[in-house]
Amino acid sequence: MSTDNLTSLFTLAVQGDQKAEAELLSYLGARFRLFVNRRLWAHDDREDIVQEALATVYLKYKEVESSEWFAGWAYQVLKNKLMNYQQSKSRREQLFTPLLPGADPADSGSYGQTIKRRLLNCLRQIWRLNIRYARILNLHYQGYSTEEICETLRLRPGTYYSVLSRAREKLRLCLEKGDLDQ
């Protein structure tokens, strides 16, 4: 299919032609799979990324201002999904590395106790560093909703998310290094 055919399918789909919309998404799905197959090995992950990108395209393609920009926009959506996947995979891999070098969780029950002690130590350090960080972490991990925490601490949601992000970063740093630089 040429770019002109893709542009005409896009134009018809925006005008409400459901058959053109289905063809457009089918064509993009095939192209997206080829694109992602060259970049990832895990088949399940590839299909998840393609489906997420197609869902975003389906939900937002009518907002694209010009049919000439559609193909570039659609591929940018896919690239963003792929980049988000790779970043989150990197973060997940970092989270699942052992907290203590050489420690194996299967070796003994003391590993869990060591992690608990380290976590409590880090939470105490965060409390001494910034009490607001500690309160937000505590309430968040107790399961309170954003609205409840904002109401309790008299915060706006944007401020809450900002402070929560900084507090999580401090906790991560402490767990990695064992101590916070004050």
User: Where do the structural domains in the chain lie, given as residue ranges?
Assistant: 3-95, 110-177
Of all residues in the chain, the percent with pLDDT exceeding 70 is: 83
Class of 110-177 in CATH: mainly alpha
- Chain segment 53-100, per-residue pLDDT in tens: 989 988 888 888 777 788 888 899 999 998 888 888 776 666 655 555
Give the mean model confidence (pLDDT) for residues 158-173.
Answer: 89
CA dist list (Å): 62 to 14, 26, 50, 73, 130: 6, 17, 19, 12, 46
Same fold, 3-95 and 110-177: no
Cβ neighbours for 73, distance < 8 A, ≥ 6 positions apart: 64
State the average pLDDT for the chain: 81
pLDDT for 47 equals 87
Q: Which fold has domain 3-95?
A: Rna Polymerase Sigma Factor; Chain: A (1.10.1740)
Sequence-separated (6 or more) residues with CB below 8 Å from residue 37: 46
